[in-house]
A and B are shown apart, each in its own frame.
Chain A
Amino acid sequence: LFFSPQFASSFSSETALPPNLRLPSNLVDPDRLKRPPPPEDSSLPLIRKCDAALPAHLSPVRTWVDTLESKDSEPLGLTELHPDVFAVTPRLDILHAVETWQRNYKRISHANTKVRSEVRGGGRKPWKQKGSGRARHGSIRSFPPLKLNCGVSHGPRGPNSYYYMLPMKVRVQGLKVALSSKMAQQYLHVVDSLNIPTPDSQYLLELIRNRHWGESVLLVDVSQEFPENILQATANLKTVNLIPAIGLNVHSMLKHEAVILTLDTVRFLEEKLLWHDERYTFLYPFKLPYSDFP
């Protein structure tokens, strides 16, 4: 991307943006936006309705349901998605918080420097305290310029961890915000299942290019066992990745342009993410058995 620098003159019109706020015009692929969301009076069948009870003031989000069976096929039907998971207000601050948490909580920095007591040698006083005319020192390892291999007093110390946990509801809300943002920008697609006719990577790439899904695609399925064909097809592809629904996270959703969910995944996600809206706070960690929670 190269834009010619334009200097904003004092006589510029009122509608001209300053150069640091101007967006490039090729950010959004116009072919992807050619297919509008399904209208109210669509003839295709409604495959799935929301399981959970919807609040009265919210209406479900409707999306197309596609197939991966053939490259250019019409959508099979419509699905209804719960608005409290797929149409939440886009909270960028929560997304940022969850993304930085994902980067940092696993981080262990192994940077280590030796202190003057740990550097080998340097127990003897190099010259006597008074009389030699030089600055007074206690060991050759105390500080430069005495000897090059001196100890560092305030350097990084040993393997250091940056672990912290965000509250559970913040992480859940981060997932919901990420899903809703993908939905709103039309990067989220629902598919009935991940069955492909051939284990060919080229077939997948052409399918993605025909449907204008984007450069990188994240395929999510509920179970840990995937069909053989799709495993082989995605094995050699770098930008098309396959994860189980348990592995869904904000960083992967932001890294990949398009996110493809199956109908089972949608049901699983709604069930898991909506439970946190109406639950009591825990008295002891959830991994210990509760009487009413599986």
Chain B
Amino acid sequence: RTILCFRILSCIKLCHPVLHTDLICSSGTCCQIRMHPIPQPKQVDRWNEKRSMFGVYDNIGILGDFKAHPKDLITAPCWLKGFRGNELQRLSRKKKMVGDRMTTLDKHNLEKRIRFLYRRFNRTGKHR
């Protein structure tokens, strides 16, 4: 016979409350078995505004007289709009476009990373 018993508050006081999502049941012997209940499947609305209007205006170039390009639709940091590259290319583009607006710490880290990647790509390994 299984007896369900919930966690007993231990006499040791913890500095913060702990959330226990699992249950402990004991089958009569001294060993306690921990089990998690089966979680509820998450409810996803397949027809909300974003999902039903996804992809609209993607062909604005072909169907709209080429006045706009689909890359104008992308919401991204300005150095990534319509651009794809590896990390070194992305960071150097970021430094060119946004470098003078960055905080000192961020700029310092960016320059360190560029220096490291440049040396790594161009001086080590098989492809240099």
Residues on A lying within 8 angstroms of B by beta carbon are 102, 105-106, 108, 115, 117-118, 157-165, 168, 171-172, 175, 216, 238-239, 241, 243, 245-252, 255, 268-269, 272-273, 276, 285-287, 294
Interface flags for B53-68 (1: CB within 8 Å of A; 0: not) read: 1111111111111110
Residue pair B62, A272 in contact (C-beta under 8 Å): yes
Bound complex: CA of A148 vs CA of B22, how far in Å? 26
A74 to chain B, nearest CB (A): 31
- Residue in A161, A243, A246, A273 whose beta carbon sits within 8 Å of that of B84 in the complex: A161
- Residue in B55, B63, B70, B112 whose beta carbon sits within 8 Å of that of A251 in the complex: B55
**Cβ of B59: which chain A residues have Cβ within 8 Å of it?**
171, 175, 246-249
Instruction: List the B residue with the shortest CB-CB distance to A250.
Output: B55
- Between A and B, 10 residue pairs with Cβ closer than 8 Å are A117-B113, A159-B77, A161-B74, A163-B80, A163-B83, A246-B57, A246-B63, A247-B56, A252-B56, A287-B66
Given contacts A246-B63, A246-B64, contact A158 B87 (CB under 8 A): yes
- Residue in B53, B62, B66, B109 whose beta carbon sits within 8 Å of that of A241 in the complex: B53
- Residue in B56, B69, B91 whose beta carbon sits within 8 Å of that of A243 in the complex: B56
Residue pair A252, B80 in contact (C-beta under 8 Å): no
CB proximity to A under 8 Å, residues B101-117: 109, 112-113, 116
**Cβ of A238: which chain B residues have Cβ within 8 Å of it?**
47-48, 52
**Tally of B interface residues using CB under 8 Å:** 38
A88 to chain B, nearest CB (A): 16
- Residue in B58, B75, B83, B116 whose beta carbon sits within 8 Å of that of A102 in the complex: B58
Bound complex: CA of A163 vs CA of B56, how far in Å? 17
Bound complex: CA of A247 vs CA of B56, how far in Å? 5
A-B pairs, 7 with minimum CB distance: A251-B55, A286-B66, A238-B47, A247-B56, A161-B80, A249-B58, A246-B64
Instruction: List the A residue with the shortest CB-CB distance to B47.
Output: A238
Instruction: List the A residue with the shortest CB-CB distance to B54.
Output: A251
Residue pair B55, A159 in contact (C-beta under 8 Å): no
Bound complex: CA of A157 vs CA of B80, how far in Å? 13
Bound complex: CA of A132 vs CA of B90, how far in Å? 43
Residue pair A287, B67 in contact (C-beta under 8 Å): yes
Instruction: List the A residue with the shortest CB-CB distance to B79.
Output: A159
A82 to chain B, nearest CB (A): 16
Residue pair B113, A115 in contact (C-beta under 8 Å): yes
Residue pair A117, B66 in contact (C-beta under 8 Å): no
* Interface status of B119 (Cβ within 8 A of chain A): no
A118 to chain B, nearest CB (A): 5
* Interface status of B24 (Cβ within 8 A of chain A): no
B51 to chain A, nearest CB (A): 8
- Residue in A117, A249, A269, A287 whose beta carbon sits within 8 Å of that of B69 in the complex: A287
